[in-house]
């Protein structure tokens, strides 16, 4: 009886620790479409002003990237706050900050730097490693992947990642950076970020991953009643020099 009680208490403590350590932050993925010829100026505004002002107002700068194939002049970044309420307050105080207003006036003297902003709020999943600043001595290629789950298949998709996919990514040389789902539930999407040693290394890793017998077995078993995804999107990215993750 004492042994059973001790085991129960230990399990409760561990469960509590896991819950306390879970990442409940509010994340936001933002994509800025730079005006023609303005991408360098937009990057400069983040480097010299916006990132520091984000920190001032309570945001955490997670990472900043540009697509390797950047015909649309995009800048992609992720920021976080302790909660959605804190995030909304941070945006209000940021936009009202006289320093930011002055920066916008100066940097947009010859025209706006951004034509469109896309925003998706995200929740970290329990699949995710600690999402924190990280870098290596050599520059890495990052891959932002978005999986739109088939109807009623999100739980099965997350389970497959939890039980098989993440460890197989590591086996084949990929680094798991972060895994999120959409907070707005507008689409059943898993959005995650990988790092590769290079674009070529990433392609080779996925080639080996897709032919791995363990993956083929897991995929077959998990899709006995149909595919788990309707659409998979991938963007290969280069980290900017001021990114906390690079």
Neighbours of 53 (CB within 10 A): 16
Q: What is the pTM of this model?
A: 0.89
Residue 199, exposed/middle/buried by CB under 10 A (0-12, 13-18, 19+)? middle
Alpha-carbon span 132 to 140, nearest angstrom? 16
Whether 228 shows a pLDDT value over 60: the answer reads yes
- Does residue 129 register a pLDDT over 60? yes
| 9 vs 168, residue with greater confidence | 168
Q: What pLDDT sits at residue 34? A: 98
Alpha-carbon distance 178 to 106, whole Å? 35
What are 32-83's pLDDT values in tens digits? Answer: 999 999 999 999 999 999 999 999 999 999 999 999 999 999 999 999 999 9
Could you tell me the pLDDT band of residue 104, with boundaries at 50, 70 and 90? very high
In degrees, rounded to 5, the angle at the alpha carbon of residue 19 between the alpha carbons of residues 16 and 25 is 150
What mean pLDDT, rounded, does the chain reach?
A: 92
pLDDT at 210 over 60: yes
Beta-carbon-side half-sphere exposure of residue 179 (alpha carbons within 13 Å): 17
Instruction: With CA atoms as reference, report the closest residue to 242 among 79, 51, 99, 31.
Output: 51
| Lookup: tokens for 189 | 């999407």
In which band, very low, low, confident or very high, does the pLDDT at 185 lie, cut at 50, 70 and 90? confident
């Amino acid at each position: 009886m004492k042994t059973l009680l001790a085991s129960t208490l230990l399990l409760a403590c561990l469960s509590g620790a896991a819950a306390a350590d879970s990442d409940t932050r509010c994340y936001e993925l933002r994509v800025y479409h730079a005006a023609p010829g303005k991408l360098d100026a937009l990057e400069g505004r983040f480097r010299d002003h916006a990132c520091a002002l984000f920190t001032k107002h309570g945001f955490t700068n997670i990472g900043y990237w540009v697509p390797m194939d950047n015909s649309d002049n995009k800048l992609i970044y992720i920021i976080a706050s302790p909660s959605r309420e804190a995030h909304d307050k941070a945006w209000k105080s940021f936009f009202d900050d006289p320093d930011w207003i002055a920066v916008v006036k100066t940097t947009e003297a010859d025209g706006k730097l951004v034509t469109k902003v896309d925003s998706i709020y995200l929740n970290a999943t329990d699949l995710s490693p600690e999402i924190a600043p990280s870098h290596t001595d050599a520059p890495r290629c990052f891959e932002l992947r978005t999986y739109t789950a088939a109807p009623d298949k999100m739980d099965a998709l997350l389970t497959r990642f939890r039980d098989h996919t993440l460890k197989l990514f590591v086996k084949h040389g990929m680094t798991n950076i972060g895994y999120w789902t959409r907070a707005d539930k507008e689409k059943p999407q898993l959005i995650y970020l990988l790092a590769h040693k290079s674009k070529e290394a990433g392609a080779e890793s996925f080639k080996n991953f897709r032919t791995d017998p363990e993956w083929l077995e897991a995929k077959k078993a998990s899709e006995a009643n149909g595919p788990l995804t309707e659409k998979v999107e991938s963007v290969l990215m280069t980290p900017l020099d001021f990114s906390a993750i690079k």
